[in-house]
Structure 1
Amino acid sequence: MGRVEQLVEEYGPSWDPGPYERGTDGPRVILVGADTSPTGLRATAYGGGLARRQRARLVVVYVAAPTVWTGLAAAAVVDVQQQTFEEEIEQLRAELRERAADVQVPVTFVVRRGETFPELRQAAQEANADMVVVGASEQGGHRLVGSVGNRLVRAATWPVVVVP
Structure 2
Amino acid sequence: MSQFELGTDGPSLILAAVDGSTTSLRAGAYAVGLARRQHSELVVITVTTTPALAGMSADAVTVLAESARDLATDLHEQAKEYLQLLEMQARLILVHGDPYLEIVRAADDLRADAVVVGASMKAGHRFVGSLAGRLIKAGKWPVTVVP
TM-score by length of 2: 0.89
Task: Note the alpha carbon deviations across 1:94-138, whole angstroms, 9 max, x for none.
Answer: 122112222232211111111111110110011111100011111
Contact 1:43 1:134 in 2 (8 A): yes
Contact 1:43 1:163 in 2 (8 A): yes
Q: Which of residues 77, 80, 90 in structure 2 aligns to 1:107?
A: 90
Cα drift, residue 93 of structure 1? 1.6
Q: Secondary structure at the match of 1:68?
A: coil
Matched residue type, 1:36 = G
1:41 & 1:131 partners in 2: Cα distance? 17
**Aligned equivalent of 1:37:** 21
Q: Which moved more, 1:74-83 or 1:35-44?
A: 74-83
**Aligned equivalent of 1:57:** 41
1:45 & 1:32 partners in 2: Cα distance? 9
Distance 1:105 1:144, change over 3 A: same
Which runs of structure 2 are paired with 1:9-158 in the superposition (5 Å)?
21=3, 24-69=8-53, 72-158=55-141
**Aligned equivalent of 1:12:** none
Cα drift, residue 156 of structure 1? 2.7
Task: Note the alpha carbon deviations across 1:18-72, whole angstroms, 9 max, x for none.
Answer: xx82574111111011111111111111111111111111111111122231x64
1:47 & 1:72 partners in 2: Cα distance? 39
Q: How many residues align?
A: 144
Distance 1:22 1:66, change over 3 A: farther
RMSD: 1.8
Contact 1:29 1:131 in 2 (8 A): yes
TM-score by length of 1: 0.80
Matched residue type, 2:64 = Q
**Aligned equivalent of 1:9:** none
1:84 & 1:139 partners in 2: Cα distance? 21
Contact 2:49 2:65 in 1 (8 A): no
Q: Which runs of no fewer than 5 residues in structure 2 stay unpaired?
A: none
Cα drift, residue 75 of structure 1? 2.5
Q: Which runs of no fewer than 5 residues in structure 1 stay unpaired?
A: 1-19
